[in-house]
Structure 1
């Protein structure tokens, strides 16, 4: 697993912690507690209990026979994170972090959310553990993901619409960190993506790595070998971090991250500091953040997790882009071919697989991480297709 890549809070040149002293004290305490629990048998037994009995793991590695036959070329397997409770991969990390928060004595949970899936997962776990919960969400995202806002409120969370700046995920993260500074005595910030100051990228990757731990064993059982490639969508990078983690040392397995063309941080960005960590950032010559344009709210972020910056720069990971039109097409193709409606975020990975699979031979296999289900996006897609 890639935790071996982390040294002093950095993946190569990326990561670190660039925050005020009062925030650093809070982060140091979280890092110290995480170091104690990540290999603790009692903690992991409790986490595995909830992953199995509450979240419904393990999720299937499904052979997409119809899609494979339609495209020709490589066999396509889908890692079905959409079947996780709450409809995405987000609960994997939420359960780990909320158990960590519980150990630290936190009474209140805060989180940021873009597409709303992390917010829903956080509100779900907070309800189960009886914790007060506040979710920060960009005002623009609350409109395009209104159903998830209602879900969070139904679960007892307070949803704060952030109308500063562009009203997107970046602004939601800003507000969540401000809350943490004011209320760190009783509050735990449950960060959803593999971004932020150390130790958050490592924490998120650690808890999401269950995805690749399962898929690796499942693929070996089904095929007797490792896959040719693993494909996952990348915004901040949590689902891709989890999907890649247990393959990083397998040099023959290609790791392919798929970015939105309108928020292609690795493709178009350059090193900088955002939200307390160093990574690739979409910025102009003066260091001002550039606006992003992505139909998937969960990928609409001007930075990327430091693990992905490292994998890109080292050459271990490959990062490509797809357009909004390709994503809408993939959303429909998977729905009609396999009867699986993917989230718009996941549809980015599917969109690249539609182009990539036919270039390979029938002996090749690829795993596409279906990070979430598309129920939350159906109304948005309906409107987009109606107006085309």
Structure 2
């Protein structure tokens, strides 16, 4: 077999959907037409004036963009550097997830799909999907792990109020991985009328590229905002948490080719890297195939997926997206990790220093401020991917 020459481009996948050695589309035969239809049309449709106008209008007038770039004065004094927070927590629905769901629902409409399915962990993607489906009058089914339904009850209530049907995933660890499995089964059984909105930069091509493009509005805004407040559109560091990795992909996107900008990706170490209860994929994972793409994932020697653990439902995933796998193996981004306890302490610190309660996912990014050496004149941007309303029960347990 002739060897395919994989792209070395860190930002864009090749025509087969590979970032270096990672990516591709590994799907059941019944889903092949759906994935091919999307692959053949997503760039064409999203580049039209009509799509761009509708997307930009909804981001501005409905989602509330641009989100602020906030100079965290008290946090900056604590760490003796300059820390800015990209306030994705101030988006409608409380997280960056709305950027992607607006884009994908517009695509679904353009493709004539009336039934929308999604998976969710922390519930933010589920809420964002239910929100835009309500706006557009589309049927919405959200799959969510039974364990996550219990620990993210406020978001489950929001989805139901928005008219979505929430279906529990009761197999495996009953978390995000299992919700994704159930969503894929649904898609296999309903290939003709159903559009699957994947919430992160995972899954078969073109999803990783498509989600990264929709989320790239984060870094696009950051460049303009930094230029205005610092005189330079490039910071020294960008910090973002990584589960599948959509907020990190969005925060990194327009800086990936800016080699002087240090990209810091923070995974969930759970109870510790070597504890057997972790979700730090780059530290524990090997190359394999999960949910339709080749990437790094936590697995046994015979290829069985290792159950992940994190106090954060949104980071409780056994793999990372292929873009992030490429950023890790190429050393373009530095991958760090934070434990459950470190994330909790970082969340309480932000709340008491700045009056902002972050999502547990975002708290992992904040936690590495304690682990990284910054200079006094560095410009550090932390992507605050979501707000902490949904995690108040977990926070109350640790007060």
1:375 is matched with 389
Alignment of 1:76-155 (within 5 A): 76-155=83-162
Structure 1: distance between partners of 2:286 and 2:100: 28
Pick from 330, 334, 343: which aligns with 2:346?
330
Q: 1:209-229, CA deviations, whole angstroms, 9 ceiling, x for partnerless residues? A: 000000111112211121111
Structure 2: distance between partners of 1:181 and 1:3: 30
Whether the aligned pair in 1 keeps the contact of 2:79 and 2:369 (CA below 8 Å) is no
- Report the Cα offset of residue 3 of structure 1: 4.5
Whether the aligned pair in 1 keeps the contact of 2:268 and 2:340 (CA below 8 Å) is yes
1:278 is matched with 294
Q: 1:22-57, CA deviations, whole angstroms, 9 ceiling, x for partnerless residues? A: 111110001122021222121011100000000000
Whether the aligned pair in 1 keeps the contact of 2:30 and 2:191 (CA below 8 Å) is no
1:63 is matched with 71
- Report the Cα offset of residue 7 of structure 1: 4.2
Question: Structure 1: where are the runs of 5+ without partners?
Answer: none
2:211 is matched with 204
2:375 is matched with 361
TM-score with structure 1 length normalisation?
0.97
Structure 1 position 181 matched with structure 2 position 207:
no
Structure 1 position 157 matched with structure 2 position 164:
yes
Q: 1:168-196, CA deviations, whole angstroms, 9 ceiling, x for partnerless residues? A: 10110011011111112111001101000
Aligned-residue CA RMSD (Å): 1.1
List 4+ stretches of structure 1 deviating above 3 A: 1-7
3-state SS of the aligned residue for 2:244?
coil
- Report the Cα offset of residue 4 of structure 1: 3.2
Whether the aligned pair in 1 keeps the contact of 2:10 and 2:327 (CA below 8 Å) is no
Pick from 346, 352, 360: which aligns with 1:344?
360
3-state SS of the aligned residue for 1:110?
strand
1:235 is matched with 243
**Equivalent residues, number:** 382
Whether the aligned pair in 1 keeps the contact of 2:12 and 2:209 (CA below 8 Å) is no
Q: 1:52-106, CA deviations, whole angstroms, 9 ceiling, x for partnerless residues? A: 000000000000001101221x200000000000000000000000000000011
Structure 2: distance between partners of 1:94 and 1:363: 37
- Report the Cα offset of residue 355 of structure 1: 2.9
Structure 1: distance between partners of 2:61 and 2:10: 27
Q: Determine which structure has the larger helix proportion and give its number.
A: 1
Whether the aligned pair in 2 keeps the contact of 1:2 and 1:246 (CA below 8 Å) is no
- Report the Cα offset of residue 268 of structure 1: 1.2
- Report the Cα offset of residue 254 of structure 1: 0.5
Q: 1:109-138, CA deviations, whole angstroms, 9 ceiling, x for partnerless residues? A: 100000000000000000000000000000
